[in-house]
């Protein structure tokens, strides 16, 4: 690369990733193939529209790429339709709202502080100015059980047009059958935001909301799904011509979504990213991906119990998926920002996070959020989780002791270098 300044920063970031262990539950390491597709010449191409229906010429190969991505995504999730064009998970969620709702309509979604996401209608978002968001919560933070009775009461009272299941900081499995029963009772569109656990679903390590009557699944493609940074919408229904207006019915959801993504919200799709999505979906269809998904959950369960053994208080008492939320304020009298910094200093990367009904502010919340998707891609197994938990406890205990922190950092670095990044591996 001739831009030596950027080349140098890419090299430094590569080395940072090699020498550290990634515990942010929404991150992962992509394969060399995904990276190559994302860095490919498809970035030069404008392809507004959909395969066979574009507004620019020269689409013989972009059409094939997008159709492959669509077919693979449908196969992975058992969907009738896939839109692979959303640039992010946030835009995927927005597209579904705009496709189905009129301004002022109600969405019933999980409270941010109980594990939901900003795009589920937090008051700071632009979405919250357009639609009316009502929030459900856990009944018992100690077990993570959602308060389904209160959820039903809210649904009966507010008659939401969308009932949204999904989360970005919730370690338990949802009861989709209960969601579906409530949604059907009030005639809501059933939408599942599976951004975090999409890879677990397609790998058979988590339940698929489509099996319980959900109409739409939104997702990111870069978390457990291990693809490029981007968004994805899957739906059930009749796939129509996205250039033609259709009636607002649940059967027409695929077409309503297509028309909302383009021309409703986005311009030219990122064809290099769609090529990388197609590669990642192809990888997720392989049998090895099932082994990966199962290992992610096994690792998370062991890591959770090892952390508990070392006195970390875990929100909901453990995990069913890839994600762990620890209350370091209750456990050790420090806030999540202090913990994040202490762990960063020994090359363990995770994020500070609010816990349910946190009494501390968002920049210095009570918790940390961590998970195992990236560690598992790297090749770590259950036995390594014990070591990780011990490093974490030691870093928090000795955070002000420079010599111990530097010794721990050296240990983590040496350990991490034994597990190459997938993109460093030369595939045969």
CB of 169 to ligand DSN, least distance (A): 7
CB of 127 to ligand DSN, least distance (A): 14
Of the pair 123, 402, the CB lying nearest ligand DSN is at 123
CB of 168 to ligand DSN, least distance (A): 4
> Which residue is closest to ligand DSN by CB?
26
Question: Contact, 385 vs 302, CB < 8 A?
Answer: yes
CB of 179 to ligand DSN, least distance (A): 20
Burial of 147 from C-beta contacts in 10 A (0-12 / 13-18 / 19+): middle
If you count them, how many residues does the chain have?
A: 428
* Residue 186: Cβ within 10 Å count: 18
Q: State residue 31 phi and psi, 5-degree precision.
A: -75, 170
In angstroms, the CA 120 to CA 91 distance is: 12
In angstroms, the CA 373 to CA 221 distance is: 13
Of the pair 27, 66, the CB lying nearest ligand DSN is at 27
Site for ligand DSN in 13-32 (CB under 6 A): 26
**From the candidates 46, 139, 152, 291, which is the catalytic residue?**
46
- Whether 301 is a known active-site residue: answer no
**From the candidates 22, 27, 66, 193, which is the catalytic residue?**
193
Q: State residue 166 phi and psi, 5-degree precision.
A: 145, 165
- Whether 102 is a known active-site residue: answer no
User: What are 62's two structure tokens?
Assistant: 């972009």
CB of 177 to ligand DSN, least distance (A): 25
**From the candidates 19, 48, 80, 147, which is the catalytic residue?**
48
User: Mapping DSSP to helix (H, G, I), strand (E, B) and coil, where does residue 349 land?
Assistant: strand
**H or E element: which one contains 233?**
strand 231-235
In angstroms, the CA 226 to CA 205 distance is: 15
* Residue 259: Cβ within 10 Å count: 23
In angstroms, the CA 225 to CA 292 distance is: 11
* Residue 13: Cβ within 10 Å count: 10
Question: Contact, 271 vs 65, CB < 8 A?
Answer: yes
Of the pair 161, 352, the CB lying nearest ligand DSN is at 352
Site for ligand DSN in 54-113 (CB under 6 A): 89
Beta-strand pair 348-349/21-22: parallel
Of the pair 125, 255, the CB lying nearest ligand DSN is at 125
Report if residue 168 touches ligand DSN, rule: CB under 6 A.
Answer: yes
- Whether 48 is a known active-site residue: answer yes
Of the pair 89, 171, the CB lying nearest ligand DSN is at 89
What do you get for the CA distance between the two ends of the chain, in Å?
25
Q: How many residues bind ligand DSN (CB under 6 A)?
A: 4
**From the candidates 229, 236, 352, 393, which is the catalytic residue?**
229
Q: Which residues pair with 49 in a beta bridge?
A: 54
Of the pair 47, 125, the CB lying nearest ligand DSN is at 125
Of the pair 72, 117, the CB lying nearest ligand DSN is at 117
CB of 166 to ligand DSN, least distance (A): 11
Q: Sheet containing 367-371: which strands, arranged edge to edge?
A: 313-314, 323-327, 367-371, 351-353
User: What are 243's two structure tokens?
Assistant: 């250039």
Report if residue 219 touches ligand DSN, rule: CB under 6 A.
Answer: no
CB of 50 to ligand DSN, least distance (A): 26
* Residue 187: Cβ within 10 Å count: 12
- Whether 16 is a known active-site residue: answer no
Of the pair 47, 321, the CB lying nearest ligand DSN is at 321
**From the candidates 72, 137, 223, 399, which is the catalytic residue?**
223
Question: How many CA atoms lie within 13 Å of 419's alpha carbon, on the beta-carbon side?
Answer: 19
**From the candidates 62, 218, 220, 221, which is the catalytic residue?**
220
CB of 117 to ligand DSN, least distance (A): 6
H helical segments located in 24-104: 32-38, 60-77, 89-100
Binding site for ligand DSN (CB under 6 A): 26, 89, 117, 168
Residues tagged active-site: 46, 48, 193, 220, 223, 229
């Amino acid at each position: 690369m001739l831009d030596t300044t950027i080349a140098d920063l890419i090299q430094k970031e590569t080395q940072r990733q090699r020498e550290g262990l990634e515990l942010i539950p929404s991150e992962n390491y992509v394969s060399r193939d995904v990276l190559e597709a994302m860095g490919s010449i498809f970035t030069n191409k404008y392809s507004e529209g959909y395969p066979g229906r574009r507004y620019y010429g020269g689409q013989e190969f972009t059409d094939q790429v997008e159709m492959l991505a669509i077919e693979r995504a449908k196969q992975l999730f058992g969907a009738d339709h896939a839109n692979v064009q959303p640039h992010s998970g946030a835009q995927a969620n927005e597209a579904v709202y705009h496709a189905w709702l009129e301004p002022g309509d109600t969405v019933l979604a999980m409270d941010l502080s109980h594990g939901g996401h900003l795009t589920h209608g937090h008051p700071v978002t632009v979405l919250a100015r357009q639609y009316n968001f009502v929030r459900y919560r856990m009944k018992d933070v100690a077990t993570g059980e959602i308060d389904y009775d209160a959820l039903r009461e809210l649904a009966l009272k507010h008659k939401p047009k969308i009932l949204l299941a999904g989360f970005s900081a919730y370690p338990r499995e949802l009861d989709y059958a209960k969601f579906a029963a409530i949604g059907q009772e009030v005639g809501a569109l059933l939408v599942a935001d599976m951004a975090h656990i999409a890879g677990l679903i397609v790998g058979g390590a988590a339940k698929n909301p489509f099996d319980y009557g959900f109409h739409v699944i939104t997702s990111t493609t870069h978390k457990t799904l291990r693809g490029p940074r981007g968004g994805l919408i899957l739906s059930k229904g009749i796939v129509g011509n996205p250039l033609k207006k259709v009636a607002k019915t649940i059967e027409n959801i695929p077409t309503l979504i297509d028309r909302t993504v383009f021309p409703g919200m986005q311009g030219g799709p990122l064809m290099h990213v769609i090529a990388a999505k197609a590669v990642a979906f192809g990888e997720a269809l392989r049998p090895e991906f099932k082994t990966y998904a199962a290992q992610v959950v096994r690792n998370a369960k062991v890591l959770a119990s090892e952390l508990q053994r070392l006195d970390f208080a875990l929100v909901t008492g453990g995990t069913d998926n890839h994600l762990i939320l620890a209350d370091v304020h209750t456990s050790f009298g420090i806030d999540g920002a202090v913990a994040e910094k202490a762990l960063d200093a020994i090359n363990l990367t995770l994020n500070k996070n609010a816990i349910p009904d946190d009494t501390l502010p968002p920049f210095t919340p009570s918790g940390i959020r961590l998970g195992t998707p990236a560690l598992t891609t790297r090749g770590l197994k259950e036995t390594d989780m014990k070591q990780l938990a011990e490093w974490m406890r030691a870093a928090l205990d000795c955070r002000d002791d420079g010599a111990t922190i530097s010794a721990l950092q050296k240990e983590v670095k040496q350990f991490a270098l034994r597990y190459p990044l997938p993109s460093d591996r030369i595939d045969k």
